[in-house]
Copies of this chain bind each other. A is one copy, B any other.
Amino acid sequence: MERAKFILEEKDMPTSWYNIQADLPEPLPPVLHPATGQPVTPDDLAPLFPMALIMQEVSQERYIEIPEEVQEIYRTWRPTILHRAYRLEKALDTPAKIFYKYEGTSQAGSHKPNTAVAQAYYNKKEGIKRLTTETGAGQWGSALAMGCMFFGLELKVYMVKISYEQKPYRRVLMETWGAKCVPSPSPDTKTGREMLAKDPDCPGSLGLAISEAVEDTLSRDDTHYSLGSVLNHVLLHQTINGLETRKLMMEQADAYPDIIVGCIGGGSNFAGLYLPFVKDKIDGTKPDLRIINVEPASCPTLTKGPYAYDFGDSAGMTPLILMYTLGHGFIPPPVHAGGLRYHGMAPIICHLHRLGLVEARAEHQLATFEAGVTFARTEGIISAPEPNHAIKVVIDEALKCRESGESKTILLAHSGHGHFDMAAYDAYLSGKLTDYEYPEDKVKEALASLPEVPGR
C-alpha cells in the first residue's frame, strides 16, 4: 500500500509562524504615507490595527511564536492533510508525483481562518470589543466571523450590496457565527448615506465597503479594522500551512517539490504555503525550486502590471504600497474566482517576484474550470474557482513531464472547496461560462491615475 495522505500529529504542529523578512536578500521597500511620502509609523496605523499586528508587519524576527490561545483554536481543524494525487497522476498518464495540501477542511471551507483567528486574538488581547471589515462574495467576512466567534468579539461586515442580494449563503454563514452583516452602501455610515441619497439602487463596490468599514472603525474607540490578505502579518499567519507542508514532505512523504503551484488574489493563501520553501531557495539549498503564482488572465497583476506605488484599496484610503498593480481604480471582470479579483498584490510576493525568486502565469476562466472538473473526476474534491487556476497549471506541468519523461514532484496549494460555488460549475457545465479578455484599455486608464508619491 502506498500512502495517499500525510498528516502531522497535533504535538508536532508548528508552534511559530515563519517570517520571511528575516531571510530576504534585500529588505522590503517601506509602505509610505500618501500625504508625506514618508514611511508610515506604527502610530499612523494604531487607530485601525492592534499594536501586535503592526509590529508583525515590520518584524525582522525569523520565527514568531503562535500564542497558545491561537494554537488551541487552530487545533479545532488543524493540522490539515497533505494528499498524494494518485488518481490525477494516473488520468494524466504522467510520471510526475503530484501532492496537494488541502485547506478545505476548515469550518469555513478555506485557508482564511488561519489569519482570522490570529487577528481576532490580538485584537481581543488589546481590549478591542468589536471589528469591522468589508467583504465581496463573503469568503473573508465569513472566516473573520468565525475568528471573532472564537474570541467573543463583535463583528460588523459591510458586504457589497449586489453580492449580499445575489449570494446570500455566505451572509448566512456570518450570521450563524454571530456576526452582523449589512449591505453596502448602508445607512449606518456617512459614506453609505451619501451614496444612497445619490443613488438608492447603488449595487455597491469593494472600495465603498472598505470606506464604510474604516469610517465605522474610526468613529468608535472599541473597534478595529481587519484585512484578509495582502499585508505582511496576514501572510505570516498563513505560513502555518507551509510549515506543516514542508515538514510532511520531508519527514513523511520523503519528497521535496520541484515545482510549487498556487493561485494568487491578494496572495496570502499561496505565500503562506511557499514562504517556508522560498527560504531554501534564498539560502541556496534548493536553487532549482520553481514557484509558480497563478492569476486570472483577466486580472494579470504580476504578469502585466508595472511595479509602482499604489493604494491597496480601490477607494484610495490606505498607505502607498510598492507592488505590481493594475491601478487601484481598475475593476476586474466578473470572473467567478472572486478571491482573485484584486488590482494589486501582497508586497512580499511582489518583492520576491522582482528578485526573480518566484514566477507568475495567467490563466483563462474556461480552462481553469475544465481543470477543476478533471480534478473533481479524479480526486473527488470539488474545488473553489480560485484553486482551479492553480490546478490548470499543475496539469500543464504534469503533461510536460509526460512529454519529457521526467518524474518531477509538483506541490499544489489547494485553498478550499467549491461547495458555495456550484452556480459557477452549473454555468460551466451548461456551456454558459465565458472567458474575459485582458481589458487592456481599462488598465491603461487605471494606471494613468496612479497616485503621486509626495517628494518624488
Contacts and interface: CB of A to CB of B under 8 A. Distances in A.
Question: Can you tell how many copies of this chain the complex includes?
Answer: 2
Interface string A144-184: 00100110000000000000000011101101111000000
A377 B5 contact: no
Nearest to A152: B377
Nearest to A6: B10
A349 to B, nearest CB: 29
A422 B10 contact: no
Contacts of A168: 422-423, 426
Given A376-B177, A425-B172, A425-B176, A5 B1 contact: no
A77 B417 CA distance: 13
Contacts of A379: 76, 107
Contact of A77 (B170, B380, B423): B380
Contact of A107 (B172, B178, B382): B382
Interface in A66-83: 71-72, 75-77, 83
Contact of A150 (B3, B72, B380): B380
A362 interface: no
A419 interface: yes
A173 B382 contact: yes
A98 to B, nearest CB: 13
A173 B429 CA distance: 11
Nearest to A77: B380
Contacts of A425: 172, 175-176
A58 interface: no
B7 A169 contact: no
Given A5-B10, A76-B87, A426-B168, A107 B176 contact: no
A422 B71 CA distance: 29
Given A168-B422, A176-B429, A429-B172, A75 B380 contact: no
Given A76-B87, A87-B76, A429-B172, A377 B109 contact: no
A87 B170 CA distance: 23
A83 B87 contact: no
A105 interface: yes
Given A172-B429, A380-B76, A109 B422 contact: no
A380 B71 CA distance: 15
Contacts of A5: 10, 75
A380 B146 contact: yes
A149 B380 contact: yes
Contact of A3 (B10, B76, B382): B10
A377 B426 contact: no
A263 interface: no
A432 interface: no
A389 to B, nearest CB: 17
A63 interface: no
A107 B380 contact: yes
Complex A-B, nearest 7 residue pairs according to Cβ-Cβ distance, in ascending order: A107-B380, A169-B422, A172-B422, A4-B75, A419-B419, A172-B426, A105-B105
17 contacts: A3-B11, A4-B72, A4-B76, A5-B10, A5-B75, A76-B380, A87-B150, A168-B422, A169-B422, A170-B422, A175-B426, A175-B429, A176-B373, A176-B377, A176-B382, A176-B425, A177-B377
Interface of A: 1, 3-5, 7, 10-11, 71-72, 75-77, 83, 87, 105, 107-109, 146, 149-150, 168-170, 172-173, 175-178, 373, 376-377, 379-382, 417, 419-420, 422-423, 425-426, 429
Given A107-B382, A175-B429, 11 more contacts: A3-B10, A3-B11, A76-B83, A107-B381, A108-B380, A168-B422, A169-B423, A175-B426, A176-B382, A177-B376, A419-B420
